[in-house]
Amino acid sequence: DAGITQSPRHKVTETGTPVTLRCHQTENHRYMYWYRQDPGHGLRLIHYSYGVKDTDKGEVSDGYSVSRSKTEDFLLTLESATSSQTSVYFCAISDSRTVSGNTIYFGEGSWLTVV
């Protein structure tokens, strides 16, 4: 298994509160991603990073911000959580320098419930 740790794994929070999810990797991979998974929508890319302090938006970035101050850590912040952000959040990493192409390795997920 790729060395990816997500924390917290489960969280219940109230509407309007800030929430930060952390992804930590030990693989020294360049790319890191945050996806959310919802029934009927599959996995949707929220934000991704292609290096320290280099981030870009995915397809569902509204209401989310990210930061990457170190290669190994990628933080996802919900500034003011809403019920529509109740979801399972997956962190993923990849190293596109490999000849195998851009294979992504996933963490185990963080279950977030906004009440």
Partner 1 sequence: SQQGEEDPQALSIQEGENATMNCSYKTSINNLQWYRQNSGRGLVHLILIRSNEREKHSGRLRVTLDTSKKSSSLLITASRAADTASYFCATDNNQGGKLIFGQGTELSVKP
Calculate ∠ Cα 23-17-19, nearest 5°: 0
Taking CB under 8 A as the criterion, which residues in 47-76 touch partner 1? Answer: 48, 50, 56, 58-59
Q: How far is the CB of 107 from partner 1 (least distance, A)?
A: 6
H-type alpha helices, 4-115:
none
Of the candidate residues 5, 27, 44, 67, the single one contacting partner 1 (CB under 8 A): 44
How far is it, in rounded angstroms, from Cα 109 to Cα 115? Answer: 19
CB-wise, 56 or 79, nearer to partner 1? Answer: 56
Rule CB under 8 A: is residue 35 a binding residue for partner 1?
Answer: yes
Q: How far is the CB of 93 from partner 1 (least distance, A)?
A: 10
Here the tokens at position 22 are: 């952390």
How far is it, in rounded angstroms, from Cα 95 to Cα 73? Answer: 15
Calculate ∠ Cα 94-112-86, nearest 5°: 105
Binding site for partner 1 (CB under 8 A): 30-31, 33, 35, 40-45, 48, 50, 56, 58-59, 90, 92, 94, 96, 100-109
